[in-house]
Amino acid sequence: MNGGDGGEAVASSAGPPPPLDWKFSQVFGERTAGEEVQEVDIISAIEFDKTGDHLATGDRGGRVVLFERTDAKEHGGNRRDLERMDYPVGRHPEFRYKTEFQSHEPEFDYLKSLEIEEKINKIRWCQTANNAVFLLSTNDKTIKFWKVQEKKVKKISEMNVDPSKAAGNGSVASASVSASPNHNLANGGYLGRSYNCLSKDAPFPPRGISSLRLPVVTSNETSLVARCRRVYAHAHDYHINSISNNSDGETFISADDLRINLWNLEISNQSFNIVDVKPTNMEDLTEVITSAEFHPTHCNTLAYSSSKGSIRLIDLRQSALCDSHSKIFEEQEAPGSRSFFTEIIASISDIKFAKDGRHLLSRDYMTLKLWDVNMDSGPVATFQVHEHLRPKLCDLYENDSIFDKFECCLSGNGQRVATGSYSNLFRVFGCAAGSTEATTLEASKNPMRRQVQTPSRNSRGLSSTITRAVRRGAESPGVDANGNSFDFTTKLLHLAWHPTENSIACAAANSLYMYYA
């Protein structure tokens, strides 16, 4: 795949890159043993900005928390520039808490008698300007455009009415005190009057203040202020599952179960419906939209996935309403493999374009699939994530775990992919030609605790005819890498890969874990 550094491109021609050795970096919001997690604190969205210098998380309580990188900021430049100047650069990105703000509040739709929860579904970073960062956040119904900027805090300095602080505390000359018999004092005071004009606790001293400092406005400190610039509301009848910025920097899309709308960032009271899969009769409904994303460089191209396991590529230049797709990517099911759960586990929960725009990554319940946008005959690689859970599908259906929506991500150089699983585990797979990398890590301070390198297993049947097709990562049924039974209550749904380095941020309940390699 394209999009890597020059050195890595040379390495890939000589053979697949070696598996990465992942190490713990940081944790924010770590739970103590036995501490109960509040529902509102559970993280529901994670997103790096394009530079990798900022990270945002959203939670079920409607809050957005921002983190900023500290290791490069100390030298005042990005990592690559510092390396060129021979600055000592830290081994891995380090972040610190920057600020947080309440993005959404719980609402009630009186017309539909429907509660709208405040949970943040998605966060997307927009282009920065004038030392301010901009981002979009959305709950089920309403999208908001935020500006976060440092502002100087204006503070009024105190008057030095305390006699112990009078000396040398200002610039007013002591010669201003008159020596006349009336004993006039500095600043218009007179001994015949009461001197507690400021307060009873701080009267003027009887002989005046030799150097009185008048209050002045100072602005030494700065604070971060988040301001909602625009609210994009009342455009979706169903729950919003995706938002995605366009590469033109001016527009974005929002998608719900049946429609995709196109917005201009500057116009909040109007959007254009570009995809509508709602049938005339809702009883004829067979599939819904599950995720949508713009192409990273082509402003006219976007992809959306469906609950039937297909991905459609559409071209906005073809027509105003893009009911017809330019390409469709789907894998044909093997004959005789159909069951009650086939359609449920085929539903795609997340799609991501690679940085170069050439490849698409999709996550369904059982697998990760990598697609080449120039080849719609089938995926170029399939990675088994939950194959060991196939015998347990009935139990997963009973407890609704089969409907969990796991996210996926790609490395900046396109050589690896990652996704989450149960028991707070996540998987990293190598997708370069010939790679057998399949690593299982745990969201804890010891990520390699459950580490087992699983051998690759070539696919059989239809997908073996696909160029460079691989199927890796299958494990023994019903147990994790240590032989322990899976905990379906602890699930790692959300994770993000740093855009330029091998660093992953992932959410385990209310804790944000970061790893590097």
In sequence order, what are the beta bridge partners of 143? 138, 232
pLDDT for 155 beyond 90: no
pLDDT for 347 beyond 80: yes
Handedness of CA 43, 46, 52, 54 (dihedral sign): negative
What is the model's pTM?
A: 0.78
Using CA atoms, how far residue 435 sits from 18, 224, 415, 440, in Å, is 8, 45, 9, 16
Using CA atoms, how far residue 248 sits from 280, 302, 352, 364, 372, in Å, is 34, 13, 18, 30, 23
Work out the percent of the chain whose per-residue pLDDT is above 70.
Answer: 75
The residue that leads in pLDDT, 90 or 123, is: 123
Q: How does residue 479 score in pLDDT terms, banded at 50, 70 and 90?
A: low
pLDDT at 364: 96
pLDDT digits (tens, 9 = 90+) for 166-213: 444 444 433 333 444 444 444 444 444 444 444 555 566 667 666 666
**Long-range CB pairs of 318-324, under 8 A, 24+ apart, other chains included:** 320/272, 320/274, 321/273, 321/274, 321/275, 321/276, 322/274, 322/275, 323/275, 323/276
pLDDT digits (tens, 9 = 90+) for 223-239: 889 999 999 999 999 99
pLDDT digits (tens, 9 = 90+) for 251-291: 999 999 999 999 999 999 999 999 999 999 999 999 999 99
Work out the percent of the chain whose per-residue pLDDT is above 90.
Answer: 60
pLDDT for 498 beyond 80: yes
